[in-house]
Structure 1
Amino acid sequence: MPISERSASFDDLHVFLAVVEAAGFRVAARRLGLSPSTVSETISRLEAQVGVPLLTRTTRSVVPTEAGSAFAARLAPLFGEALAAMRDVANSKDVVRGRLKLNVPGAVMRDILPPLVDRFLKRHPEVQVEIVVEDRLVDITAAGCDAGIRYGEHLEQDMIAVPIGPRHQESGLAAAPSYLARHPVPKHPRDLLDHACLRIRFAGAALNAWEFEKGGETIRVDPPARIILGTAGVEALIHHALTGQGVLYSFRNWLDPHLASGALVPLLRDWWPRYDGPRLYFSSRFMPAPLRAFVDVVHEQSAAPPASADIRGRPPATGK
């Protein structure tokens, strides 16, 4: 039967995208509340309608064919717009309902994003918020997210970007007094080559050099790593710094409480680099009601006077 005479249903397309995202029938079925056999039958029916295989099935995985990948790439943003339109219709003038899904790096989850989400949910209690925390760069539309948070160098040109959190941030370098009692205090960034260092690896990235700035001069050093942890292990890495295991180069806002208490001592303070803070970004094509309401909260926070004159920490340069 020609496809023009019988179009695929909205539900069938939803099932197809769920299988592509989950890379399997069972996981997709569990997320959709369907049986695996129903999901499999739906995909077979859809493939019969379009006339080409959309998925390659093996005993271990389900991956889209070339045609399936192209179909999913075109379908995902259209499906997202349709869902956004449905959610907008469901929203009355005074009540915002639906889901807000954000893709964010772990760096914003300590003190930048949580207060904004708390304020947003207090104002809009009927919205469900889902936060996907990952440091690798993804296409937020293809991933089914309404918006993402990234630093300036990661923004696509066709996206709208709104500053979120501090306008400027800073990296910091510190070590515990117990470590400094056993090692000389570094006087220059290159001195770090002779120190034990605690380093953060961002997902999917090489272990990048530490960057320092002073008087227009920029220096990058790649010091030896005593301990390496991903962003999910930041609390443990800070613990190792506090117990004197090495020198930590990190977001200043992660260091500030320990610098204030004296548990960590700032090092090379004149060399700490400063640059733009993160931004919330989203497609210029459509803006669902929950996202529009969240952006309003972000704008209000940006307009509010800062709680103190201190700069709130920024991510270290990673070359990503």
Structure 2
Amino acid sequence: MPPPLRLDSLEIFGDVVRHGGFRAAAASRGVSSSAISQSINALEEALGIRLLHRTTRSVAPTEAGEHLLHLLTPALQDIRVAVDGLNQFRENPSGTLRINAPGPAVDHVLCPLAFQFMQTHPDVNIELISDAAIVDIVEQGFDAGVRFGNQLAQDMIAMPLGPRLHYAIVASPAYLQAHGTPEQPGDLLAHECIRRRFPGGTLVTWKFAKDGETLEIVPKGRLTLSSAQQELQAALAGAGIAHTLDDYVHAHVAAGSLVEVLLDWRQTLPSWYLYYPSRRHTSAAMRAFLGFIRDYPWP
């Protein structure tokens, strides 16, 4: 006689498909990979059909698994809505918020917001995932995402997070003394620029604007990194000229350990935007977080 069907195994199955493997699903749930594997094995045994193709490198749903997942996703969402509806009977909202955002937005906007929000909402858990890639937040199980205003899908509700942003071109005093100070963006092509590569493989281009004129260069340099924090470390070490959001460097510029150049060519960007699905139930925890953002005293 097959084992009884457990409803939590259905949710675990959805997590495995969404995360693309047992290990990632286990990490998202804070359990071991073997526990996830046992749940899936029990589910397949209870249903009498294989739901996942397993190889040493990947996990993917079978045709039956795809069919089940298609029907399962809205059903699980309905269950979450029903459970979240109980929040109206609690004094404080509860639950978990999962937010996907680029590293700079997490470092300088979301972390300070989350720290303060959690002090006044002790029953809400927050998970912040740093990710520079554009992802489908609904498919990936996030409550919200953060991107620039011009990167948002039309079916999303968006609200600004803080003021407009600025990129700064900085280098250490020692580097500029040894190699000279660029006066025009084109001068950077003769310098050691600290480059950054996106997760998808493309190099970050440096953009400039002055008096209605815009320029874009592909920086040249021996050092290529993958995060703004790494670029900051390299600039402080005198490895070259860095291009980072002002949030990362303004304290170092004020202290004199870095010098900002090409100030009159500074590029201004839209603010970060928090976005979330317009056609999806908004949880009590998310509603509380949105209200907190609206009332936040932005500079």
What is aligned with 1:43? Answer: 44
Give aligned pairs, total: 290
The amino acid across from 2:205 in the alignment is A
The amino acid across from 2:293 in the alignment is V
Deviation at 1:156, TM superposition (A): 1.0
What is aligned with 1:17? Answer: 14
3-state secondary structure, aligned to 1:56: strand
Please state if 1:215 is matched with 2:211.
yes
Please state if 1:291 is matched with 2:293.
no
| Deviation string, structure 1 residues 63-117 (Cα, Å, up to 9, x no partner) | 1246645653664355234314312314535311111111111011222111110
Deviation at 1:237, TM superposition (A): 2.3
Equivalent of residue 266 in structure 1, options 260, 266, 278: 260
Please state if 1:206 is matched with 2:207.
no
Residue correspondence of structure 1 range 145-156 to structure 2 within 5 A: 145-156=142-153
Deviation at 1:9, TM superposition (A): 6.6
- Cα pair distance change 1:66/1:133, threshold 3 Å: farther
Rounded to whole Å, the distance in 2 between the matches of 1:38 and 1:240 is 46
Is 1:226–1:246's contact at 8 Å kept on the other side of the alignment? no
Equivalent of residue 253 in structure 1, options 247, 255, 261: 247
Please state if 1:103 is matched with 2:100.
yes
The amino acid across from 2:275 in the alignment is Y
The amino acid across from 1:94 in the alignment is E
The amino acid across from 2:132 in the alignment is D
Equivalent of residue 132 in structure 1, options 129, 133, 155: 129
Rounded to whole Å, the distance in 1 between the matches of 2:136 and 2:212 is 35
Is 2:12–2:36's contact at 8 Å kept on the other side of the alignment? no
3-state secondary structure, aligned to 1:206: coil
Rounded to whole Å, the distance in 1 between the matches of 2:92 and 2:82 is 15
Deviation at 1:271, TM superposition (A): 0.5
What is aligned with 2:58? Answer: 61
3-state secondary structure, aligned to 2:194: strand
Rounded to whole Å, the distance in 2 between the matches of 1:29 and 1:222 is 40
Rounded to whole Å, the distance in 1 between the matches of 2:298 and 2:287 is 22
**Runs of 4+ more than 6 Å apart:** none
The amino acid across from 1:211 in the alignment is K
3-state secondary structure, aligned to 1:197: coil
Is 2:87–2:284's contact at 8 Å kept on the other side of the alignment? no
Is 2:162–2:298's contact at 8 Å kept on the other side of the alignment? no
Rounded to whole Å, the distance in 2 between the matches of 1:47 and 1:194 is 66
Identical positions, percent: 37
Equivalent of residue 174 in structure 2, options 164, 178, 183: 178
Rounded to whole Å, the distance in 2 between the matches of 1:191 and 1:131 is 39
Rounded to whole Å, the distance in 2 between the matches of 1:62 and 1:47 is 19
What is aligned with 1:312? Answer: none
Rounded to whole Å, the distance in 2 between the matches of 1:70 and 1:156 is 27
Rounded to whole Å, the distance in 1 between the matches of 2:23 and 2:184 is 56
- Cα pair distance change 1:84/1:25, threshold 3 Å: same
Is 1:76–1:141's contact at 8 Å kept on the other side of the alignment? no
Is 2:161–2:271's contact at 8 Å kept on the other side of the alignment? yes
The amino acid across from 1:299 in the alignment is R
3-state secondary structure, aligned to 1:282: strand
Deviation at 1:46, TM superposition (A): 4.1
CA RMSD, aligned part only? 2.4
| Deviation string, structure 1 residues 264-284 (Cα, Å, up to 9, x no partner) | 111110101112111111111
Is 2:198–2:204's contact at 8 Å kept on the other side of the alignment? no
Unpaired runs of 5+ in structure 2? Answer: none
Please state if 1:281 is matched with 2:281.
no
